[in-house]
Structure 1
Amino acid sequence: MDILDSKIISVLPNAGASNQYLSTPAVHKKLEIIESDAPVIKTVQRRLEKLQLEGIVDMEKRGAAWYWRKGSGAGGMAGKSGAIMTREEALALHMLRGFTSRQIPTLVAEALVDLFEVADKRLEAAVTEDERRYRRWADKVAVENSGFALRYPAIDAEIFAIVSQALFHERKLEIVYRPRSNVTNDKCKVILPLGLVEVGGLVYLIGGTEGRPNPTMYRLDRLDSAKMMLESFSYPRAFKLDDYVKQQRQFDFMVEGEVTLTLRFLNDAGNHLLETPFAADQEAQQTGDGLEVQGTAVLSQRLRWWLRSFGPYVEVIGPQSLRAEFAQEARALAELYPQ
């Protein structure tokens, strides 16, 4: 399969995700968006016909027009995989689908819908006791979120696909963004897609703006529309997504710099920090009926949210400014629950 065939397949709808097909002109139009030197429609048509004969794409005829999607069932690539897929591979795919609880892996996994179905059928076709063990294994492993479960807003799969393509091809992106402060906004803006980050169930698009040094975070579920433009941009060499997330701590929200954090935990509330420290330089010691820990932390809203989750079982010793802040919050909280 050559590069053109791969690009044609990449723009086709998935068979397992929906019953959607694309006409040949629609396929050609999508190719023009991602490929500056796209072939003519007749070439695209010939390639699609060849891919259909190979069982890689499905075709549906509607009058004189031909419509296409990625292959499904025994005729598609997933079906071909089923003939050679081992039970170990089937189990791995089955477990992968079960653990894609976050939004980005779930959205990306749409491309593997057919393979997931083949994997399930492979496991269900167990005959011997040894084969049945593979099926039962999936019921012996579970993943549970340690935090309080919230229902996060869903992300439009089509918008996610467009944003992902623009990010991959380094094309400018025209979006309509509706923040909480302006939910009826209908003005378009052009951004430079630099990265996708998932934080606590919410997915953010990191977008640059020409003429501005610092990128902006956009909640992906708040994008009302997205359109990949033909115009490309040079990805900034100075920008590193890992640095943006881990070093600049942009997702800690309202970062105020590093502090020496000293905490005293009661009722064993902080004992997990003995095995999972909050800082590389953390020091811990038992003090009577409590545990005192100290280390370098980034003062931010995220840190405050974490401390509040312990309620009356943590005392902020330092820094003094943070202690005073929590003391004021404690007094305000007490007023909400008068005796």
Structure 2
Amino acid sequence: MQELDRDIMRVLPDAATQDHYLTTPEIHKRIMEDALMSETVTVRTINRHLTKLEASGLVEMRPSGVALEWRRKAGASGMAARAGAMMTFDEALALQTLRRFSSRQIPGLVADALSSMFDVAQARLQRTNNSTEQRYARWASKVAVESGGFALDYPAINREVFAIVSRALFEERNLEMIYRRRDNADNETPKTILPLGLVEVGGLVYLVGATPGKPEPTMYRMDRLWRAKALPDTFVYPPGFSLDEYVKRQRRFDFMIEKEVLLKLKFVANAGDHLLEAPMAQDQKASSKGGALYVQGTVMLSQRLRWWLRSFGPKVEVLGPAPLRAELVAEAAQLARMYSA
């Protein structure tokens, strides 16, 4: 398949997941906005390629007045069509399990590319020929995944915006975007960033992007990206930047990080017993005395740490560091006044 054919297939709606079609001029506009092309492509050229793709059974067309509208056929990549005849029960079960338990937003968004494969897998599991295959078909209903936190209905991410951002990230291209913060919900001023990574934290997806002239990257909530456009200009990915370092070592997503501290805690009523199996720090030490569990370790002081400590209520006492203890003492006194009023 030629490069232009691939670009056409990429921008077309997929019949497996989307109901709408695009006209030839709309397809032309999207390709010219988003594709890295060395020469200008005309609407007539795109229409000629669409006609060939339709003849090959990869796209479908419908008339809309005097215009023609197009979309990609379900399973047009050929993977689903080939898999339908030869997919084993093991493979079908694996795909259906992946579909059901990809509860986070990023896996769900990228799984759109496999939607037709999921449909084939579902159909395969429904065609049971013996008792063993019936057990396979029932397996997905015997497994569940539940978040440990309080369930919130997180804002959805625009799938088209996500696709543009993902491609710009993959191809290391400058990204122009309209970003609307909570305090600037009507913003229409575009800004250009260098996309460095995508991170999902507690149900929210963030784009980590560098801005020329600024030493530190910035985090952008993906659901607040109103529009996005991958620019033709590419950039050199910063050799000194590591997303893993940024997330796991620098703890940038702990929010308002301050410094490392030696945290000393006293737990009662078995509230901290889980730390014996899942330590809060690499240098954690723990001991028991008088029915209480004493735990200490070096952690990063941040808002997320405070949220975690507050979740235990009166079942944890912060013994150190002294400033954090004083902060929580003052907060507890304020709560006492609030609830005694």
TM-score (norm 2): 0.91
Q: Confirm whether residue 299 of structure 1 aligns to residue 301 of structure 2.
A: yes
Alignment of 1:226-241 (within 5 A): 226-241=228-243
Which SS does the other structure have where 1:305 is aligned?
helix
Distance (whole Å) between structure 2 residues aligned to residue 68 and residue 286 of structure 1: 68
**In the alignment, which residue of structure 2 is the partner of 1:178?**
180
TM-aligned CA deviation for residue 291 of structure 1: 0.5
Distance (whole Å) between structure 1 residues aligned to residue 337 and residue 186 of structure 2: 38
**In the alignment, which residue of structure 2 is the partner of 1:283?**
285
Q: Percent identity?
A: 57
Q: Any conservation in 2 of the 1:57–1:69 contact (CA below 8 Å)?
A: yes
Distance (whole Å) between structure 1 residues aligned to residue 122 and residue 312 of structure 2: 42
**In the alignment, which residue of structure 2 is the partner of 1:162?**
164
Q: Confirm whether residue 94 of structure 1 aligns to residue 91 of structure 2.
A: no
Question: How many residues were matched structurally?
Answer: 339
Aligned partner letter, 1:184? D
Q: Which moved more, 1:21-30 or 1:309-318?
A: 21-30
Alignment of 1:70-81 (within 5 A): 70-72=72-74, 77-81=79-83
Structure 1 runs (4+) greater than 6 angstroms displaced: none
Q: Any conservation in 2 of the 1:31–1:38 contact (CA below 8 Å)?
A: no
Q: Which moved more, 1:318-327 or 1:7-16?
A: 7-16
Distance (whole Å) between structure 1 residues aligned to residue 126 and residue 268 of structure 2: 50
Distance (whole Å) between structure 1 residues aligned to residue 139 and residue 85 of structure 2: 22
Distance (whole Å) between structure 2 residues aligned to residue 38 and residue 314 of structure 1: 65
TM-aligned CA deviation for residue 23 of structure 1: 3.5
Aligned partner letter, 1:210? P
Aligned partner letter, 2:9? I
Which SS does the other structure have where 1:337 is aligned?
helix
**In the alignment, which residue of structure 1 is the partner of 2:207?**
205
**In the alignment, which residue of structure 1 is the partner of 2:21?**
21
Distance (whole Å) between structure 2 residues aligned to residue 242 and residue 161 of structure 1: 22
Change (3 A) 1:25 1:38: farther
1:180-227 CA-partner distances (Å, limit 9, x unpaired): 222222222122211111110011111211111111111111122222
Q: Any conservation in 2 of the 1:94–1:116 contact (CA below 8 Å)?
A: yes
**In the alignment, which residue of structure 1 is the partner of 2:38?**
37
TM-score (norm 1): 0.92
Aligned partner letter, 1:37? S
Q: Confirm whether residue 140 of structure 1 aligns to residue 158 of structure 2.
A: no
Q: Which moved more, 1:108-117 or 1:251-260?
A: 108-117
Q: Any conservation in 2 of the 1:167–1:193 contact (CA below 8 Å)?
A: yes
Q: What are the ranges of 5 or more consecutive residues in structure 1 without an aligned counterpart?
A: none
Q: Any conservation in 1 of the 2:16–2:73 contact (CA below 8 Å)?
A: no
Alignment of 1:50-69 (within 5 A): 50-62=52-64, 65-69=67-71
Q: Any conservation in 2 of the 1:171–1:231 contact (CA below 8 Å)?
A: yes
